[in-house]
Chains A and B, each alone.
Chain A
Amino acid sequence: MNTNNEPELDKNNSGSKTKITLKNIIKSFSGITVLNDINLEFTSGEIHGLVGQNGAGKSTLGKIIGGHYKLSSGKIFLNNNLIKKWSSKIALDNGIAMIHQELALVPDMTVYDNIFLGIEENYYGIIGKQNTKLFNDLDQKIGFNLDPNQKVSSLRIADQQKVEIIRALARNARVIIMDEPTSSLTNDEVIKLHDLMHKLKKSGYLIIYVSHFLDAIIEVCDKISILRDGNLIRSSKIQNETKSSIVEAMLGTKEEIAFPNKKKDKIFDKKILELSNIRTYTGVKNVNLTINKGEIVGLLGLVGSGRTEILRSIFGIDQVQSGSIKYENEITNFKKVEDAINKGIVMIPEDRRKLGLVFTQNTKSNISITNLNNISKNQVIDTQKEIKLVKDLINLLDIKPTSPNGNIAFYSGGNQQKVLFAKWIFNSPKLILLDEPTRGIDVGAKRKIYELINNLSSKGVAILLVSSELEEVMGLADRAYLVKEGETINEIIPYQTSIDNVLFELFGAEKVSNE
């Protein structure tokens, strides 16, 4: 079946140059545009960085080139030939391999088996002997020194990444897309990875490097394309950019989404929640924060900084390893979610599909599920009361479609989010843990959610807000904490500082590069 796995690491015998051209690429997920009219060109022999804020579309663009997402519209040219069908399989056949943030290896198989998975040398389906020479050739040219017989599950993440890279090379890939490859590497490993990328580049490979670590991008890339809100801001040589010019381009001047007016002189003095030196098994290392009644407190940080984990530890999903959580002047490290809910804490999770809604049930059941005790007698649900309650909430939040029996699986993201809010606000919670409340929803729904958040806080509800959209936290929160690598590093008053300052502090503090 499979004949030639010989890698061509030398420029001399490769000959073929790869050029990928994107023309008017548009990508939208259920009506929301995440990439808008992207025109870009990539050529072999370069390392091309894709940068942008969380949600700017850089990963999506990488996945489109790698064939993992279908285009909504637009054209891809490979060496000036228009590509008609595109999938990850076809991309791979054409020498384009993608290495994902979450590695896609079979943990229980060996390094060797993983590398040649799907392209094993075989005789009518019977797998042949391990081709040690082939493996060694590959391994030595890159200098990884991997043991082919080790199980992948016993390797560290950095080594697993190497397996992925060799795997791409074994398939004669000429283009390698790396999505946030450094997020789980140590500084030392990052340096090695960058060395390797240089080596590959010199041998005529094209590397597309998706990352939000600007220092790393500046150090290693030849070209860089900056995305913001799904638009390509510019594509230029790295020599023409500085860190601050990149950050500025990433930020831009946004079209104003009107945030509800804040009373800036409001005084909050009724403490409801206090976290001291919280540490968890999930990566929260040292978190100190307080929230008062009626206050909106934001957590600002990059993806993976531990913001969600902080919410989870308060809510009793993740156990607290050390430190104390004081709620309403009582030490309460909740062990169970029920306990937190009974005390008036609710969490509106980021992942609506996985953690928020029950898609096999209609809108009515999803909304009333947390309120059943109020509308039932001896465990029997009063359906009249239920319908009334649900209809009131649907009207209040302007949920569409308005039918209580609607199938929420087909609702827009914004309306699903409203259903999620509706589910909780009837119970008059005292503290709401809000994780990415406006992810993937349109401007109209966003405005409605902002209003709602503000109304709740003016009624005395305390809100802890996590959002990757800095503007959102800056516009809504009375106070905010900067979170970095599981620690609260600073406390700010949003209207007294600027987004730029915050961004520089968050990005500037990243210690990735080797100076």
Chain B
Amino acid sequence: MNSSQIINFCRDYAVLILIVLLMIVLTLSSDAFLTPRNLLNILNQNAPLAIIACALTLVIIVGGFDLSTGAIFAVASVSSAWIAINYNPYIGLLIAPIIGIILGYLNGIIITSFKVHSFLSTIATSLVFRGLAILITGGFLIPVRMKEFTWLGREKIFEVHVAVYILIVFAIISTFILTRTTIGRYIFAIGGNEDASILSGIKVNFIKIFAFSFCGLAAGIAAAIQVSRISLGTSQAGLGMELQAIAAVILGGTSIYGGSGAVWRSIAGVMLLALINNGFNILNADPFYKDLTTGLVIIAAVALTSGRK
């Protein structure tokens, strides 16, 4: 391996290198870190964000942005809680992903039919969706204390939370779509060169709508897990989640300009952010330094990946 290969390797796997470094530091500084219990906990706690990041990867590779995932998350959460209380907890859990798909589909339709950049249109729809969530709750919290509802977020199978299994399945599906299906191929092509894709006869609008619907679905699934876990529907759920998800995707090394990236990268991005958080907890460090440290780590990751092709 010559030096330029080493540099390229660092650029390609910056996020993994940082994760390994951070894990070494944390293992050396605390006995509580490198235990299955702690690691599974990190996964479990961040499963909703990671699920969104997986699907958001598709949107960003196709050349878009989705700033409405947090708001979709909120609508799905409160609808889920409301239906659980008024009708049936199982239908309540099921309704969240369905609402997610519908709202994501709406995003896709608006973006493709009005030809607006998704950055702008999803800022707008996020306000609409958040407003919708407030209207559904009427400004109140919706507590749901039913075992039939809270199992999804709290139960374990073989010592591992259900949410972790869902994350794994969802990540595999996302990866499969992206790397093995025609849709995935078209997503890469459109993000890499939209004009060439149109001239290749690709149904560009359909693919974009698919990506946004899929992202909506992910926000809905994440909402079902979270609302069930905290057994509380609130219109303020998922505030700022869209930015965390975008940060994680980009941090993982998916190109912000579209055309290249991978699902595993986004999960790694989520985990990197989660490890910093976890480190502060188990080391009992002054939480006042948390944002500052997170920001510095992001800058470090960006610096390592700069110039990546």
Contact = CB atoms under 8 A, between A and B. Distances in A.
A342 B182 contact: no
A246 to B, nearest CB: 38
B198 A360 contact: no
Contact of B202 (A355, A357, A369): A369
Interface stretch (B28-36, B123-131, B189-197): B189-197
B203 interface: yes
B181 A361 contact: no
A366 to B, nearest CB: 8
Nearest to A376: B182
Contacts of B199: 315, 317, 337, 347, 349, 355-356
Interface in B166-184: 180-183
Nearest to A378: B181
Interface residues of B, number: 23
B58 to A, nearest CB: 14
Nearest to A339: B201
B182 A373 contact: yes
Nearest to A424: B200
Interface stretch (A62-70, A300-308, A379-387, A462-470): A379-387
A358 B197 contact: yes
A423 interface: yes
B253 to A, nearest CB: 13
B200 A370 contact: yes
The interface centre, meaning the residue of A347, A358, A359 with most chain B CB atoms within 10 A of its CB, is A358
A340 B192 CA distance: 23
B182 A358 contact: no
Contacts of B198: 317, 337
A369 B181 contact: no
Contacts of A381: 180-182, 185
A317 B182 CA distance: 23
A341 interface: yes
Given A337-B201, A347-B199, A369-B185, A358 B192 contact: yes
B259 interface: yes
B183 A379 contact: yes
B184 to A, nearest CB: 8
B200 A423 contact: yes
Contacts of A369: 185-186, 189, 197, 200, 202
B195 A360 contact: no
B188 A342 contact: no
A308 to B, nearest CB: 13
A338 interface: yes
A360 B202 contact: no
B260 interface: yes
A338 B201 contact: yes
A357 B182 contact: no
A372 interface: yes
Contacts, number: 75
Contacts of B191: 360
A434 to B, nearest CB: 13
A369 B185 CA distance: 7
Contact of A357 (B181, B193, B255, B260): B193
Interface in A330-352: 337-338, 340-342, 347, 349
B180 A358 contact: no
A354 interface: yes
Interface string A295-320: 00000000000000000000101000
A476 to B, nearest CB: 23
Contacts of A365: 185, 188-189
Contacts of B203: 338
Nearest to B193: A358
Contacts of B186: 369, 372
Nearest to B201: A341
Interface string A399-430: 00000000000000000000000010000000
Contacts of A379: 181-183
Contact of B192 (A359, A376, A383): A359
Contacts of A337: 198-199, 201
A381 B182 CA distance: 6
A488 to B, nearest CB: 24
A226 to B, nearest CB: 36
A340 B198 CA distance: 12
The interface centre, meaning the residue of B180, B197, B198, B199 with most chain A CB atoms within 10 A of its CB, is B199
The interface centre, meaning the residue of B180, B181, B193, B200 with most chain A CB atoms within 10 A of its CB, is B200
Contacts of B181: 376, 379-381
Nearest to A342: B201
Given A369-B185, A379-B181, A383-B180, A361 B192 contact: yes
Contact of B196 (A338, A357, A380): A357
Nearest to B202: A369
Nearest to B176: A380
Contacts of A372: 182, 185-186
Interface string B235-269: 00000000000000000000100011000000000
Contacts of A376: 181-182
B183 A358 contact: no
Given A376-B182, A381-B182, A358 B259 contact: yes
A423 B202 CA distance: 13
Contacts of A338: 201, 203
Interface string B32-69: 00000000000000000000000000000000000000
The interface centre, meaning the residue of A340, A341, A380 with most chain B CB atoms within 10 A of its CB, is A380
B305 to A, nearest CB: 15
Contacts of A361: 188-189, 192, 259
B80 to A, nearest CB: 30
Contacts of A373: 182
30 contacts: A315-B199, A317-B199, A337-B198, A337-B199, A337-B201, A338-B201, A342-B201, A347-B199, A354-B193, A355-B196, A356-B196, A357-B193, A358-B259, A359-B192, A360-B255, A361-B189, A361-B192, A365-B185, A369-B185, A369-B189, A369-B200, A369-B202, A372-B186, A376-B181, A379-B182, A380-B180, A381-B180, A381-B182, A383-B180, A423-B200
Given A365-B188, A373-B182, 6 more contacts: A357-B196, A358-B192, A365-B185, A369-B185, A369-B189, A369-B200
Please name the 5 residue pairs, one residue from A and one from B, whose CB atoms are nearest each other, closest first: A360-B259, A341-B201, A360-B192, A358-B192, A372-B182
